[in-house]
Every structure is written in structure tokens, then in C-alpha cells.
Amino acid sequence: MLRIRQVTHLAKLLETPPEQLAVIAESASDYCEELILLDPAKPKPREVLCINGELRRIQKLLLTKVLMPKLKPSRFNHGGVKKRHIKTNLAQHKSSRFAITFDIADFYPSIDRVRVYKLFAQRMACSPDVARLLTRVCTYDHHLALGMITSPFLADQIVAGIDGRIAGACSRLGLTYSRYVDDLTISGHFDLESSGIEAMVAKILRDHGFRLNIHKTDAGRLSDGLSITKLRLRNGQPDVERTYLSELKRLLKDAAALGRNEPFEGPYYTRDQLVAKVRHVCWINPRRATELKRLIRAVPWRGVKANALAKGLVATKKRLLSNATQSTGN
């Protein structure tokens, strides 16, 4: 609990004069740039914010010096939490046979400024003036937003109540529950597809002002390769999805063909990009290292660079574009 009752106290914690803090809070949107994230691996662009200047500094101080020392993350959340990640999330379910996964629709936009204000004023016991100022500093377009430094932590605090309800129901049924930001997973020893679990989760989310993305619910046997946050269990150990692994091998062989000036299918990735993908797979499953490193060594990288330049190939990568530029088509 924060219990910050005076704006002057908050300003001291954020290393900013009270008058300056008030001005920044009132004009917070001036420090935000709307961007569009274009990811070749995903068909739908995502809107993100780039936070600049004094607002970025204040948000970072608020997170690291005020929120994190006083408040604990949900024990069920493995996203954006120190020493937790997609592997620890998957590990919660390694003893289960079946699982069902869900996605919360419009996660950050669903957390509007009223909910953020109540979090600061009621749960964190801040005065109304402090809660209003913090709400302005931590929201954009009247809600939490992707790209704001404080959004993952505040969202976790708000969803912790949902975690408690779902986990409690799962415990009574002998099931295991975990969350990775807005991805929920429930697992157990019986088939969950027609068990009524989905209806239960949907109701709990509705009670808290959220809804399921019905197009992203998936269920099945873990031994059949059911994906949990883009990972699967293979012989009880974490591994990447089959499609990811097969595509990575194809890309490495394709890069070798490009280096020898042989027919090249594409898309084109640089050496650094492909090495990063290999390192990711090896982190998930170290047993993949021998084969993938052999494929990396088999690529004539000087030839790749020279032939890519000669063919005018442009590396495939994520891009951030200004939302204004994107909307005008410039």
C-alpha cells in the first residue's frame, strides 16, 4: 500500500518540483507519440506509444522507486515480472495432461482511467489529489496504453483479483492456473475443452470488466503440442512450437543457398537476426543447440551479405511508424 497523502510527498519521491509535476501531468499527452508496430510475423499492426522526456523519467521513477518497492506482483503472473518469463509460465503446467488457453480482449484499453484512479485512491490509499495526478501520469486517451512504462505493473495489480478468483476455482477442481500478462492458461488431468471452464473464466472476466477474445481460445493435450505462450512441452521439457522450429531451419538453409548464389526463397534476414532466433531456441531448449549451431556454421555469411546487396534484398524486421504518417499514407 502506498499511502501517499500529499502531492508534495509524491513530488519528492519523483524528484520533481510539485509545480512542474502538476504541469507535466496536465499535459502528459504532449510527451506521447503514437506509433504503429509492423511485425512481419503478425498480420495485424499494433498501436504502441513512445513516451519521451520528463514523462518518461517520471514514469520510470514511479515504477522503480515507488510502486515496485511497496507492491508485490500477482504470484500467478509470469509476464513483466523479475525472474519470471515464458518458461516459468509453461513450467507450472508440466505435470498436467490437458490444458486450455485464453486471451483477454483489448487488455490495456479495457483498463480505463476510472479503474486506475480507484486503484490509486482505494487499493493504494492515496489522497484524491495524488490519485488524480498519478492517473493522469499513467494513462493516455483515458486508459492504460501499450508502451507506457507503468502499464504492465498497474494492469497486474488490477488483474490480481481476477487471478485470485480463477485460481481459487481451479484449486477446488484440482487444476493449475497461470497468467502471462493477458494470456491465461488452465491445465489438469482431464479434458477441459467441454468442461465448462471457458464459461467460468468468461463470467469472472465480465464481472471485472473484461472479456475473452473468443478467437484465441485453444484446448487439447499437452503431449500433442498445445501451445502455451508460443511454447510447447516435449517429453516434459520446454520447446518452441514445431512450426517455429521448422521455419527457422528452413531460413538457415535458405540463407546458405543465398550465400552460394543459389535459388533463394526468402524472406531475407541478416546474420544477427538469425543468430538471435537460434539463441532464443537454445534458451528454451538447449538440446536444440548442436543442430542449429551446425546450420549456422554452414552458412557462408560473406556470400550472404554480398549476394543480398547485389539482389537489393532488404532485411525483414519489425518497424515502428508514426501513426499520423500511417493514417495519411505518406
Query: Each residue of 180-238: pLDDT tens digit?
Result: 999 999 999 999 999 999 999 999 999 999 999 999 999 999 999 999 999 999 989 99
Question: Chain-wide mean pLDDT for the chain?
Answer: 95
Interval 49-106: pLDDT, tens: 999 999 999 999 999 999 999 999 999 999 999 999 999 999 999 999 999 999 999 9
Contact at 8 Å (CB) between 218 and 183?
no
Query: 34-43, 170-179, 272-281, 291-300: which has the minimum mean pLDDT?
Result: 34-43
Contact at 8 Å (CB) between 323 and 47?
yes
Give the confidence band of 41 by pLDDT, cuts at 50, 70, 90: confident
Cα torsion 13, 64, 106, 120: sign:
negative
- The enclosing H or E element of 305 equals helix 301-311
Give the confidence band of 311 by pLDDT, cuts at 50, 70, 90: very high
Interval 10-27: pLDDT, tens: 999 999 999 999 999 999
Residue 35 β-bridge partners? 48, 322
Q: Is 253 helix (H, G, I), strand (E, B) or coil?
A: helix
Contact at 8 Å (CB) between 120 and 2?
yes
Q: What is the mean pLDDT of residues 277-287?
A: 98
- The enclosing H or E element of 57 equals helix 53-61
- The enclosing H or E element of 238 equals strand 237-240
What's the distance, CA 327 to chain centroid? Answer: 25
Q: What are phi and psi of 114, to 5 degrees?
A: -65, -45
Comparing 165 with 329, which gets the higher pLDDT?
Answer: 165
Q: What is the pLDDT of residue 318?
A: 83
d(CA 293, CA 116) in angstroms, rounded, equals 47
The secondary structure of 61-90 as a DSSP string is HIIIIIIHHH-PPPTTB-SSSTT--HHHHH
pLDDT at 146 over 60: yes
- The enclosing H or E element of 130 equals helix 128-138
Q: Which amino acid is at 204?
A: I
Q: What is the mean pLDDT of residues 39-47?
A: 81
Q: What is the pLDDT of residue 324?
A: 60
pLDDT at 305 over 90: yes
Q: What is the pLDDT of residue 45?
A: 87
Give the confidence band of 39 by pLDDT, cuts at 50, 70, 90: confident
265-272: long-range contacts (C-beta < 8 A, 24 or more apart)? Answer: 266/313, 266/316, 267/40, 267/316, 268/308, 268/313, 268/314, 268/315, 268/316, 269/315, 269/316, 270/315, 271/299, 271/301, 271/304, 271/305
If we measure between CA atoms, which residue out of 243, 231, 201, 287 comes closest to residue 91?
231
- The enclosing H or E element of 180 equals strand 176-180
d(CA 185, CA 223) in angstroms, rounded, equals 16
The Cα-based distances of 115 to 14, 111, 122, 148 in angstroms read 22, 6, 10, 16
